[in-house]
A and B are shown apart, each in its own frame.
Chain A
């Protein structure tokens, strides 16, 4: 079935990666029933694109990490279905982007490869979680919290001996050789409205303090710093279509991923229990304007 995306490229005219974003949008538009949103016109005449942004899944194409298109989507309260950052895609593919604003054969080939990926990609909702053959571990549906409040902000930290934290505001709840991992209220309050979740890859081996995906708001991109080492065996797919669940509750509905632990005894040395993390959180909150 032909894709019907609303395509929002950053269209950064003074950077090669920005020019590539435009080329990708053109290529996808030509070969599907998608519609391009001009970021410049969108700012001054939002109504022109209202229908398109409401009816179609939005694909944001940023040239670089300045994330102009993502920030525009956040400003306009749009839900992002898919997100591409050209410089990241180039890195993944081991390709160099030239300095000229006129696209050469390398840049055009990169644009073509990314466009093909977008045209081929199943929508994330259609994707199934690859859990085949995995044992299912039942994690609690509710946790008990200790609460710390500052002004209108409420910070909950879950209690219990099975909870472990790192100083990077991520938690792990450990049952046997399995851990469920997520971020704490400090992260979601600092980021405010979370609009995009980049999940880790199922099957990937992650070291302690390694990257376990990213979450992103209009303010910043937060790298999820894994408290434990292990193999990713499940991700919370609900977050792909509803990343705001992390704001609602980053512990219960907003968990990030599950890992098969590979070296937990060793990892423990650099983990905090509830009491130690709660003290650190209080210090952070007191010395920080969220």
Chain B
């Protein structure tokens, strides 16, 4: 289960989830096996056999799936920028 908010900010407003570099991904699916939050979805019969289906399930600032990725095909947004954005959003909510 994932949280609906992060530090009081609605999760859907925070841009934090893995990006797949399809030129590197070898569809080993280690990330899918690893992530307990159903962020990824396997699509056996499509050209892109793996997609980020539920980006909002991704735990903000967690990059653990990328550390299981042999071909280094997963990347994440810049943490500093995301932190600044979260602070801005909190400010707007006051």
Chain A interfacial positions (CB closer than 8 Å to B): 15, 63-67, 87, 166-168, 207-210, 214, 220-223, 225, 269-270, 280, 283, 287-288
Contacts and interface: CB of A to CB of B under 8 A. Distances in A.
B22 interface: no
A210 B79 contact: yes
Interface residues of B, number: 28
B83 A64 contact: no
Interface of B: 1, 3, 6-7, 28, 30, 34, 36, 59-64, 66-72, 79-80, 82-83, 86-87, 90
B79 A66 contact: no
Contact of A64 (B64, B72, B79, B86): B72
Listed from nearest, the 7 A-B pairs whose CB atoms lie closest are A287-B1, A66-B70, A64-B70, A221-B67, A209-B61, A209-B79, A270-B7
A168 B7 contact: no
Given A167-B6, A207-B79, 8 more contacts: A64-B72, A65-B67, A167-B59, A168-B59, A207-B80, A207-B83, A223-B62, A270-B86
B17 to A, nearest CB: 15
Contacts of B7: 167, 270
B28 A269 contact: no
Contacts of A269: 87, 90
Contacts of B70: 15, 63-66
B87 A220 contact: no
